Amino acid sequence: MTGTAHLFIPGPTNVPADIQRAMIVPMQDHRAPEFAEILQPVLAGLKPVFGTSEAQIALLPGSGTAAWEAAITNTLSPGDKVLMARHGQFSALWADMALAMGLKVEIIDVAWGAPCPVREVERRLGADRHGEIKAVFVTHNETATGVTSDVAGIRHALDASFHDALLFVDGVSSIGSIPFEMDAWGVDMAIAGSQKGLMCPAGLGIIAASPRALAAMDTSTMARSFLDLRAMLAAHQAGSFCFTPPAQLLHGLRAALTRLQTEGLANVFARHQRLAEGIRAGVAAMGLKMVAEHQIFASDTVTAIRTPQGIDARDVIAIARNRYNTHFGGGLGPLAGKAFRIGHLGDLNEGMCLTALGIAELSLKAAGAPVVLGAGVTAAQHVYAGVAQAPALSIAAE
């Protein structure tokens, strides 16, 4: 195919050229004292991105899923009860993992498209008179549905119930793109990966452990070896890893953190919000519905879009890929065939979002959806230009 391939999946995201170049380095001795010169700035630079000065950060060769597992096996014990909402593919997979690791999982099932229900969490915590719930798991940004949950609200629910369960938060598709306040929200385990907001290739799970989480490691009896956080934190302290690290990725992460610092985190968050608003305006102008049940909790990093009745989202995705060299995310689990996703996180600007909407329109049209070509792009342009749109376009309904 000619031209640039457009990657609009919600991770891995586009790796900017300076980060790519930063990773072209010779192999180095990860046991040499100078290895700390690359590791320490990465660990220090990640702290503001996680919104923490108190937590300790470990880098785990693997991905976000490895960090999910590390959060569980380093702080909990077999048979412990944990509380979590299931409202999308990733919260569902994390619940499956918790079950597989021998935890008792109290699941709050809510619609895919809703956020983690703060009031119901508070009710369950209040009813837990004997403190059986040892941890609450929250998927901050459900990448499958494009929904962001209120982590501060969950912290409030814990405090209001005088409950001392640990708070684990999956920030895989939020950290580095939208505000994340680990210390202010009292998060005990915060989880990210290298390949989304941090604009690097996949290969590192990143986990930040609060002082409470570190203390819980003293009593946890789960088996752990490769993902033993205390061993990794001690190795980091000494300037290295427990085993051979993906050193190139650390160079990439350092360059990514420099980018985030240079742009300024507040500006990074504002950019993601602005770009997402354009995408949402475009989706509405196409006459389509988001999977997110309400704008209030629609994600600023990924938008999951329902295709009109009778239009298979898999066809839309295949047309975009085969005709237009453009990659959208598929609908996951029960949303397969019913939704497609535009990832809008990481190294991204207005032009890229307009391209995503323009290709979505072309692909939807070719799949038989009654969209008015240009309607979505025009609506997004008005958002990006900061001007109101004349109420002239007639939008085809599904």
Which spans of this chain sit near ligand PLP (rule: CB under 6 A)?
A: 11, 63-65, 90, 139, 141, 143, 170, 172-173, 193
Nearer to ligand PLP, 93 or 285 (CB): 93
What is the smallest separation between the CB atom of 52 and ligand PLP, expressed in angstroms?
19
> Are 341 and 328 within 8 A, CB to CB?
yes
What is the smallest separation between the CB atom of 137 and ligand PLP, expressed in angstroms?
11
Nearer to ligand PLP, 144 or 316 (CB): 144
Nearer to ligand PLP, 198 or 285 (CB): 198
Pairing of strands 6-8, 326-330: parallel
What is the smallest separation between the CB atom of 226 and ligand PLP, expressed in angstroms?
15
CA dist 62 and 43 (Å) reads: 17
Pairing of strands 339-343, 302-306: antiparallel
Nearer to ligand PLP, 64 or 153 (CB): 64
Q: Amino acid identity of 174?
A: S
What residues form DSSP beta bridges with 281? none
> Are 133 and 124 within 8 A, CB to CB?
yes
Nearer to ligand PLP, 171 or 287 (CB): 171
Smallest CA-to-CA distance from 308 within 329, 270, 337 is with 337
Nearer to ligand PLP, 90 or 324 (CB): 90
Sequence-ordered strand ranges (E) for the chain: 6-8, 56-61, 81-86, 104-109, 133-139, 141-142, 147-148, 166-170, 189-193, 204-209, 289-290, 302-306, 326-330, 339-343
Q: Please calculate the CA angle 315-353-24 and round it to the nearest 5 degrees.
A: 95
What is the smallest separation between the CB atom of 206 and ligand PLP, expressed in angstroms?
10
What is the smallest separation between the CB atom of 64 and ligand PLP, expressed in angstroms?
3
Nearer to ligand PLP, 175 or 367 (CB): 175
What is the smallest separation between the CB atom of 387 and ligand PLP, expressed in angstroms?
34
Q: Residue of minimal CB distance from ligand PLP?
A: 64
CA dist 87 and 184 (Å) reads: 25
What is the smallest separation between the CB atom of 99 and ligand PLP, expressed in angstroms?
16
| Helix or strand (DSSP H, E) at 50 | helix 36-50
